[in-house]
């Protein structure tokens, strides 16, 4: 992958994070109405409605945090600051967000069984990001050692 | 800890940082890092070049000093 391809890929990723940010805003607005319509369509009572709305809003908020961390990480990549403590901390935030999403969707699984699959996927993604974070942290350590070698 | 006495040898040989930098082909910034004990590691090739330029031995440049943590 040459420099221009990497730059293009980073720009595409940044654009995606912006699109996701806008989508999350639309989702936040649509949650109450969509939840009401879904419950009515399924013939389910409204007793779970409050819990569903709260969990979806928490999930949306966590997704916002993850999206912002992702955008800031891409900004650091564009600036050439890849192997730094900042990148490690942003990957930690991303991993934590995935685990938080898993908790939200695991809680929803008592109402919608399919959300357990989403919870599992979120845990898996969180685990992958944890490993990537550990790899980058080690790379930062090696880079600092090399930078300090005269 | 290891003390780098590069500034002492440079003073003895009346050599500036810039001149030493051009002789050993290492940037003045990196030599300054070394001189101020901020370096994490030194290559043997770097030590070789510095000793050659300053006409001294490694012991003139590097000195082991026992610090409190090592003494415990």
Consecutive 10-residue runs of chain A (150 residues): their mean pLDDT?
Answer: 84 95 96 90 82 94 97 92 93 97 94 93 97 96 89
| Torsion angle in degrees (nearest 10) through CA of A89, A92, A93, A95 | 160
Q: Tokens at residue B64, please?
A: 């082991």
The answer, for A148 touching chain B at a CB cutoff of 8 Å, is yes
Strands (E) in A1-150, as ranges, are none
For the whole model, what pTM was predicted? 0.78
**Pairwise CB contact (< 8 Å): B42 & A144:** no
Residue of A nearest to B34 (CA): A150
Which residue in A has a C-alpha nearest to residue B45's C-alpha?
A150
At B72, is the pLDDT very low, low, confident or very high (cuts 50, 70, 90)?
Answer: very low
> Among A91, A92, A89, A24, which residue's Cα sits nearest to residue A58?
A24
Chain A residues near residue B40 by CB distance under 8 angstroms:
144-145, 147-149
Query: Which of B31, B33, B35, B40 to mutate against chain A (most A CBs within 10 Å)?
Result: B40
Tokens of B68: 């409190």
Q: Could you give the CA distance from residue A71 to residue A61 in angstroms, rounded to a whole number?
A: 15
Backbone angles phi and psi of B17, in degrees to 5: -65, -40
Residue A20 CA to residue A63 CA, distance in Å, equals: 9
Q: How far is A50 from chain B (nearest CA, A)?
A: 57
Taking the C-alpha atoms of residue B5 and residue B9, their distance in angstroms, rounded to an integer, is 7
Confidence of residue B69 (pLDDT cuts 50, 70, 90): low
> Which chain A positions have a beta carbon within 8 Å of B42's beta carbon?
149-150
Strand partners, B63: B3
Residues of B in contact with A144 (CB under 8 A): 40
Domains and CATH numbers, chain B: 2-71 (1.10.260.40)
Q: Per-residue pLDDT tens for B11-57?
A: 999 999 999 999 998 999 999 999 999 998 999 999 999 999 999 99
Burial status of residue A40 (CB atoms within 10 A of its CB: 0-12, 13-18, 19 or more): exposed
B30 CB neighbours in chain A (<8 A) are: 150
Cα A82 to its chain centre, rounded Å, is 19
Q: For an interface test with A, which of B4, B6, B41, B51 has the most A Cβ atoms less than 10 Å from its Cβ?
A: B41
What's residue A111's pLDDT? 87
Decide if A149 and B40 are in contact by the 8 Å CB cutoff. Answer: yes
pLDDT for A69 equals 96
Instruction: Answer for the pair A52, A108: CB distance below 8 angstroms, yes or no.
Output: yes
Determine contact: A141 vs chain B, CB below 8 A.
no
User: Which neighbouring-strand residues pair with A149?
Assistant: B41
A49-78 and A85-108 helices cross at what angle (nearest 10)? 160
């Amino acid at each position: 992958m040459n420099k221009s391809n990497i730059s293009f890929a980073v720009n595409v990723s940044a654009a995606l994070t912006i699109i996701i940010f806008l989508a999350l805003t639309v989702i936040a607005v649509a949650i109450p109405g969509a939840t009401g319509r879904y419950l009515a369509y399924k013939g389910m009572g409204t007793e779970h409605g409050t819990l569903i709305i709260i969990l979806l809003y928490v999930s949306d908020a966590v997704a916002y945090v993850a999206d912002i961390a992702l955008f800031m990480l891409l900004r650091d990549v564009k600036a050439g600051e890849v192997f730094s403590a900042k990148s490690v901390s942003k990957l930690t935030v991303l991993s934590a967000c995935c685990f938080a999403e898993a908790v939200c969707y695991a809680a929803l699984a008592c109402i919608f069984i399919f959300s357990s699959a989403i919870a599992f996927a979120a845990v898996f993604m969180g685990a992958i990001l944890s490993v990537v974070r550990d790899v980058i942290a080690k790379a930062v350590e090696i880079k600092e050692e090399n930078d300090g070698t005269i | 800890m290891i003390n780098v006495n590069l500034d002492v040898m440079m003073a003895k040989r009346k050599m500036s940082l810039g001149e030493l930098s051009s002789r050993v082909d290492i940037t003045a910034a990196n030599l300054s890092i070394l001189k101020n004990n901020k370096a994490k590691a030194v290559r043997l090739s770097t030590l070789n070049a510095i000793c050659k330029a300053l006409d001294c031995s490694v012991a003139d440049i590097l000195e082991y000093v026992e610090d409190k943590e090592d003494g415990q």
